[in-house]
Chain A
C-alpha cells in the first residue's frame, strides 16, 4: 500500500497531517505544551494518555473547536492552514471525526443521521430519498454490514450505532478533496467503551479495510490491548507533552503502560479474601430484557462478576435488581422483594446501591457542584432544626475528595468540569458512604484512566473487607479477573459458565464468553473482509 503514494504525498515526506508545536491554554493553565506529531498515509495511529493528558484537547484543536496559541502549526497535505482551523474547511479537505458519543440522533432514521452534515447541493426536487438510501445500502454492503437505512437509530445495537457513525465519517471522507484521491483522515475519539470484545474486533476489521483503501486513522483510546491489536504507531501524551512516539510492533504492553503513567505502576491486587459464610443476597428467577430465570446467591464480602457478549442478558442484572428497569423474579436481602414491584427507593431501603454505567445521564448531574452530587444520599444525616448544615455537607464532600483523591480538590466546582475518572470516584464515594449490603455495578471503570481505575478497585476492596457484597456487570475481562471472586458468564440469557479460583484469568473469562457465540444478526463483517 505504501508504494502507491500520490504525487502530493511525495512532496511532503512528513505525511498527510503534520502538527507542529501545538500549544493551547485554558485561562492560566497550559494544557498542550508544544505537541508535534505527524500522521503518515495509510497508517493507524493510536493516541494514548491518562485523563487530562491533553488527548481530547488535541483532537478538538484538529476539529476546529479549540483555538491554539500563536506559533502552533497544522499542515494538511502540504497546506499550512490558518488557526484556529475552520471546521467546515478541514472537513472538505478530508478529515472526518467520530466523537465519543457518536453524535447520532436516536429518534431519527439511519438515513437522516447519515445525511446530517452532508450539504452537497441537491436537484430541484430536493433530497431524493430512494437514491440516497440505495447509496447508503451500497456503502454498508461494501463493509459487509446489513443495516437498514430506514431503521431508527434507537432500534440499533450499540455496535451498529458505532458503525453508522463511522461509516457516516467514511462517506464524508469520500466526498472530500482528499477522498477523491482515495485518501483522508478518520479521527476516532474513544469509539470502543460501549462495545463488547466481539464488536471491537468487528470495528477493527472495518478500520483495517479503511486503511487498506489508503486513508489514515487516528484512534484515541484507553485500552492498551486495543492499541496493540490495531495501531501501526502509538503516540503517548503526558501532561500536555508528547511523551513518546513508538512503533507498535516494537513495543510491549508494559512499556506503553509505564509511558502513559510516567512511572511503573503495579496493578491493584486484592488480598485473597475469604467471603464470609453469611448470605448477603439471594436472587431467584430474575428475568427481564434478554435475561431469563437467573439465580444466584451472593455471600457477604463476595465480589461476583457477570459478563457475556452484548445481548446475552448480563448487563440487565444490576438494573433489574435495583428496580431501574421492568422485570420479574425475587431478590432476598433481609426479606424477599418482588422484582416486578421494586423501585430504586425500595431497593435502597433494602440495602442495595447501584452505580450505573452511563455517568452523564444516570449517576451524576454535570451542572450541579461536586458537593451537591457527592452528598445527595447523605443529606438526612445533616438535617438540623434550622435546615441542612451546609458547612457539614461541604466538609463531607472535602473528606470524600481527600479519601478518593478527586481532582481538582474543590467541592464547589461543577461536576461536569471533572474528568470521567474523577466523576466516577465521586459517584463511588457517594454510594460507599451509604455502606450498602449489596452494591450493584455496571461497567464501573468505563472511560476511566488506568491510575484512577486502580484507586477505584482499592476503594471497592475496602468496602468488601467491611462486609459489602458486590455484583459487577462488565465486558472488561481484565477488570473482572482483577476484582472478582466468582464470574458468571451468560449466554443467550442464561448462565453458561461459572469461573472461580484459578480459572479467573482475563483469557479464561474472554474465552468463556465466546464459547458458544450467539448467531450473527444484522452485522457480519468477517465474510466481507475475505
Chain B
C-alpha cells in the first residue's frame, strides 16, 4: 500500500498549532518559571550548584511518580506507593545496619518486598474485586504500622556508604547519579508505553476493560503486573531515599504521596495531553520543584511547598482544560 498524502482541509494548521501549544505548555511554563527566578536571584538561583541539587534531590519523587503512573494508566490507583517506599527504605536500613546484611542483598530484598506488596494489592483487587483505592489505602496503612514496628519508631542511620556513593556522592556533569536513575527509568517507561505491545495493552485495559477483554487481552494479568511493577518501583524510590541521606526515618517519606499524584496529573497535561505519560511526569516534577526552590530562596516559609504543589496542580490542569475547551477529562 502506497502512502498518498490526502489533501488536508485548510483549517488544520490552526488546530495543529493549538495542539502543539497544549503539548509544550508545561515545559514552556517551566522555562518561564526558571527565567523569572533567574532574574530575581541571579547569584543564588542561577548556579550550577542549585540546579544540580534540585535535579538530584528530586529523583525519589520522580521514581515514585513513575511508579504510580503504571497502575494509573491501567485504571487503578496505588495509594500504598509512598508506604512501600518508606517500608522499603526502612527494611534496607534495618537489614543493613541492624542485621548486618551486605548492602546488595538489602537492596534486592527491599525491591522484592516492594514487588510482593504490589502482588498483595493485586490479589485483593483482582480476586475479591475490591476497588483499588480501598485495598491500597488499607495495605499502605498496614505497611506504615509495619515500618514503625520494624524501626521501633526511630530513625535508623548508618546505611552503607557504598549506596550513598552510588546515589548522591558520585556525579556526572556535576549532577548526582540519582537524577540519571530517574531519567533512565522515565526513558524506559516512555519507550515501553509508546513502542511496545505491553504498553498498548496497558492503555486499552485502562480505557476500556471490556474492549480489551474482547480483544483477547488477559485484563487481570495486565492489572496484576502493573501493581507488581508499581510496588517494585516504589521500593526502588525507597532505596534511593535511603541512599540520599544514608538513613531511613519512619514517616517523612509518606508526605511524597500527594506530590507524586500531583506530578502524574500535571504530567498528563503535557507532551501527550490527556494521557498519563512518563516524560510529562518528569517535567511535572521539575516544574513543581523549581517553583518551590525558587520561592524558598526568595525567603518564603516552608508552607509554600504545599501551597505551590496544590495551587500549581489546579491552575495548570485548569489552563489545559481551557485549551481543550473544557471537554470532560478522560484520563488513562
- Chain A nearest CB from B255 CB (Å) reads 32
> In the complex the two chains form, what is the Cα distance from A354 to B210 in whole Å?
13
Q: In the assembled complex, which residues on chain B have CB atoms less than 8 Å from the CB atom of A29?
A: 11
With CB as the reference atom, state the residue of chain A lying closest to B11.
A28
Would you call A376 and B204 a contact (CB within 8 A)? yes
Residues of A within 8 A of B9 (CB): 28
A508 at the interface (CB under 8 A from B): no
Q: Quick check: B1 and A377 within 8 Å, CB to CB?
A: no
Cβ–Cβ contact A387 & B214, under 8 A:
no
Report whether B216 and A345 are in contact in the complex, using a CB–CB cutoff of 8 Å: yes
Smallest CB separation, B5 vs chain A (Å): 10
Q: Is the CB of B195 within 8 A of A368?
A: no
Alpha-carbon distance A153/B323, docked complex (angstroms): 38
Residue of A347, A361, A380 contacting most chain B CB atoms (<10 Å)? A361
| Cross-chain contact of B197 among A379, A395, A402 (Cβ < 8 A) | A379
Residues of A within 8 A of B208 (CB): 361, 364-365
Q: Once the chains bind, are A388 and B195 in contact (CB under 8 Å)? A: yes
For A384, give the chain B residue with the smallest CB separation.
B195
Q: By the criterion CB–CB under 8 Å, are B211 and A383 in contact?
A: no
Q: Report the separation of the CA atoms of residues A387 and B9 in the bound assembly, to the nearest whole angstrom.
A: 33
Residue of A nearest to B217 (CB): A345
Q: Number of A interface residues, CB 8 Å?
A: 36
From A28, A344, A363, contact of B216 by CB (8 A): A344
Nearest CB in chain A: distance from B142 CB, A: 30
Residue A399 CB within 8 A of the other chain: yes
Q: Which residue of B lies closest to A383 (CB)?
A: B197
- Does A386 make an interface contact (CB < 8 A)? yes
Question: Is A272 on the interface with B (CB-CB < 8 A)?
Answer: no
Q: Mark B167-201, 1 if CB is under 8 A from A, else 0.
A: 00000000000000000000000010011110010
Min CB distance A149 to B, Å, is: 30
**Is B332 in the interface zone, CB < 8 Å from A?**
yes
**Any B CB within 8 A of the CB of A461:** no
**Inter-chain contact A368/B197, CB cutoff 8 Å:** no
B203 at the interface (CB under 8 A from A): yes
Also in contact, A344 and B213, with CB within 8 A (given A365-B204, A367-B274, A398-B3) = yes
Given contacts A27-B11, A361-B211, contact A380 B197 (CB under 8 A): yes
**Contact A322 B214, CB 8 Å, known A367-B332, A368-B204:** yes
Q: Quick one: given A27-B11, A387-B191, A399-B1, are A367 and B207 in contact (CB under 8 Å)?
A: yes
Asked if B211 contacts A362 (CB within 8 A), the reply is yes
Q: Give residues of chain A (315-372) contacting chain B, Cβ–Cβ below 8 Å.
A: 322, 324, 343-345, 347-349, 354, 356, 361-368, 372
Question: Which residues in window 13-31 of B have CB below 8 A to A?
Answer: 15
The CA of A29 and the CA of B10, in the complex, are separated in Å by 11
A399 to B200, CA, bound (A): 20
A395 touches B11 (CB 8 A): no
The answer to whether residues A388 and B214 also contact, given A365-B204, A398-B3, A409-B6 and a CB cut-off of 8 A, is: no
B218 at the interface (CB under 8 A from A): yes
Interface centre among B194, B200, B332 (most CB of A within 10 A): B200
Residues of B within 8 A of A363 (CB): 211, 214
The answer to whether B216 and A348 touch across the interface, beta carbons within 8 angstroms, is: yes
A356 in contact with B3 (CB, 8 Å): no
Name the residue on A nearest B196 (C-beta). Answer: A387
Q: Assess whether B330 is interfacial by the CB under 8 Å rule.
A: yes
A343, B11: Cα distance in complex, Å: 46
Give the distance in Å from the alpha carbon of A324 to the alpha carbon of B219 in the complex. Answer: 13
Q: Which residues of A contact B252 (CB under 8 A)?
A: none
Residue of B nearest to A377 (CB): B215
The A-B contact count (CB < 8 A) is 74
Q: Which residues of the other chain, B, contact A388 by a CB distance below 8 angstroms?
A: 194-197, 200
Residues of B within 8 A of A409 (CB): 6
* CB atoms of B215 and A344 under 8 A apart: yes
Are B207 and A362 interface neighbours, CB within 8 A? no
Q: Does A269 contact B (CB under 8 A)?
A: no
Set of chain B residues within 8 Å of A354, measured between Cβ atoms: 214
Contacting A368 at CB < 8 Å: which of B1, B6, B203?
B203
| Residues of B within 8 A of A (CB-CB), count | 27
Q: How far is A368 from B215 in the complex, measured between Cα atoms in Å? A: 15
- When A387-B196, A390-B195 are in contact, do A367 and B211 touch as well, CB less than 8 Å? no
Cα A28 to Cα B1 with chains together (Å): 32
Task: State in angstroms the CA–CA spacing of A361 and B208 once bound together.
Answer: 7
Residues of B within 8 A of A348 (CB): 216
Residues from chain A with Cβ under 8 Å of B197 in the complex = 379-380, 383, 388
- Which residues in window 22-44 of A have CB below 8 A to B? 27-29
CA A361 – CA B195 in complex, angstroms?
Answer: 25
Whether the Cβ atoms of A361 and B200 lie closer than 8 Å is: no
> Which B residues lie within 8 Å of A27 (CB)?
11, 15
| Contact code string A300-317 (vs B, CB < 8 Å = 1, else 0) | 000000000000000000
Q: Which of chain A's residues has its CB closest to B221's CB? A: A345
Residues of B within 8 A of A356 (CB): 214
Contacts of A367 in B (CB 8 A): 207, 274, 330, 332
Per-residue A-contact encoding for B98-127, CB less than 8 Å = 1, 0 else: 000000000000000000000000000000
Distance in angstroms between the alpha carbons of A372 and B204 in the assembled complex: 9
How far is B330's CA from A305's CA once the two chains are assembled, in angstroms?
37
Whether the pair A376, B200 counts as a contact (CB closer than 8 A) is yes
Among the interface residues A356, A364, A372, A376, which one has the most CB atoms of the partner chain B within 10 A? A376
Q: Roughly how many angstroms separate A364 CA and B215 CA in the complex, as a whole number? A: 10
Are A362's CB and B216's CB within 8 A? Answer: no
Residue of A nearest to B211 (CB): A365
Q: Please state if A344 and B214 are interface contacts (CB–CB under 8 Å).
A: yes
B214 to chain A, nearest CB (A): 5
Q: Which of A376-414 contact B (CB under 8 A)?
A: 376-377, 379-380, 383, 386-388, 390, 395, 398-399, 402, 409
Nearest CB of chain A from residue B323's CB, rounded to whole Å: 14
A368: which B residues are within 8 A, CB to CB?
Answer: 203-204, 207
* Whole-angstrom CA separation of A390 from B211 in the bound complex: 22
Closest to A324 in B: B214
A466 CA / B216 CA spacing, docked (Å): 24
Measured CA separation A275–B208 after assembly (Å): 37
Establish whether residues B211 and A372, one from each chain, have CB atoms under 8 Å apart when the complex forms: no
The distance in angstroms between the C-alpha atoms of A363 and B216, with both chains bound, is 12
Bound complex: CA of A368 vs CA of B201, how far in Å? 12
Residues of A within 8 A of B214 (CB): 322, 324, 344, 354, 356, 362-363
User: Nearest Cβ in chain B — how far from A374, in angstroms?
Assistant: 12
Type the 1/0 row for A460-481, where 1 means its CB is closer than 8 Å to any CB of B: 0000000000000000000000
Residue of A nearest to B12 (CB): A410
Q: Whole-angstrom distance between the alpha carbons of A366 and B203 in the complex?
A: 12
Partner of B210, one of A345, A349, A362, A380: A362
CB <8 Å contact, B211 and A379: no
Enumerate chain B residues within 8 angstroms of A383, measured Cβ to Cβ: 197
Contacts of B204 in A (CB 8 A): 365, 368, 372, 376
Residues on A with C-beta less than 8 A from B3 are 395, 398
- Rounded to whole angstroms, the CA-CA distance of A349 and B211 in the bound complex is 17
Residues of B whose CB lies within 8 Å of any CB of A are 1, 3, 6, 9, 11, 15, 191, 194-197, 200, 203-204, 207-208, 210-211, 213-218, 274, 330, 332
Q: List 11 A-B contacts (CB under 8 A).
A: A29-B11, A322-B214, A354-B214, A356-B214, A367-B207, A372-B203, A379-B197, A380-B197, A388-B194, A395-B1, A402-B1
| Residues of A near any B CB (own CB < 8 A) | 27-29, 322, 324, 343-345, 347-349, 354, 356, 361-368, 372, 376-377, 379-380, 383, 386-388, 390, 395, 398-399, 402, 409
Q: A388-B194, A390-B195 are in contact. List 14 more A-B contacts (CB 8 A).
A: A345-B217, A348-B216, A361-B208, A361-B210, A365-B211, A367-B332, A368-B203, A372-B203, A387-B195, A390-B194, A395-B1, A398-B1, A398-B3, A409-B6
Q: 4 shortest A-B CB distances, which residue pairs? A: A387-B195, A365-B208, A345-B216, A348-B216
